[in-house]
């Protein structure tokens, strides 16, 4: 599975949310600076080429839907990030977030409790 560009990820988040959408529906959901309609259409077609979306044709109009789940993409992205930035160590990753104060001691205790309860 290929890494997506920031714009492609933004579009995928919209498609995951909407489940099925025409280009105009995706355009309506974009919060940042809206691209030109043709640019957005090109981004969605690239997502199709990369195997992330498919479509149903209604005449000349296409309704797009994701064929890669958000969970599958998240797993691939996280595994790649952990491998590239934390030497494939979840301990290093958690330590990083703790040092950067992005995660509190209480949060860490809660995570440990969740893990212990799942065992």
Q: What is the pLDDT of residues 41-79, one digit of tens each?
A: 999 999 999 999 999 999 999 999 999 999 999 998 888
Domain count, the chain: 2
pLDDT at 101 over 80: no
Residues 62 and 21 in one domain: yes
Residues 57 and 85 in one domain: no
Domain with 39 in it: 6-66
pLDDT value of residue 80: 87
Specify if 46 maps to a domain.
yes
Rounded (10°) CA dihedral 12, 18, 21, 25 = -90
Residues 62 and 91 in one domain: no
> What is each CA distance from 38 to 43, 61, 77, 118, 119, in whole angstroms?
9, 13, 28, 48, 50
The rounded distance, in Å, linking the Cα atoms of 37 and 22 is 11
Q: Which token pair is 4?
A: 């997506």
């Amino acid at each position: 599975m290929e890494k997506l560009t920031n714009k492609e990820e933004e579009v995928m988040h919209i498609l995951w949310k909407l489940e099925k959408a025409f280009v105009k529906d995706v355009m309506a959901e974009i919060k940042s600076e809206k691209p030109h309609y043709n640019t957005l259409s090109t981004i969605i077609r690239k997502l199709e080429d990369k195997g992330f979306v498919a479509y149903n044709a209604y005449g000349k109009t296409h309704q797009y839907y994701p064929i890669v789940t958000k969970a599958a993409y998240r797993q691939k992205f996280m595994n790649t990030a952990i491998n590239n930035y934390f030497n494939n160590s979840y301990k290093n990753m958690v330590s990083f977030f703790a040092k950067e104060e992005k995660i509190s001691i209480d949060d860490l205790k809660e995570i440990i409790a969740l893990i212990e309860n799942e065992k």
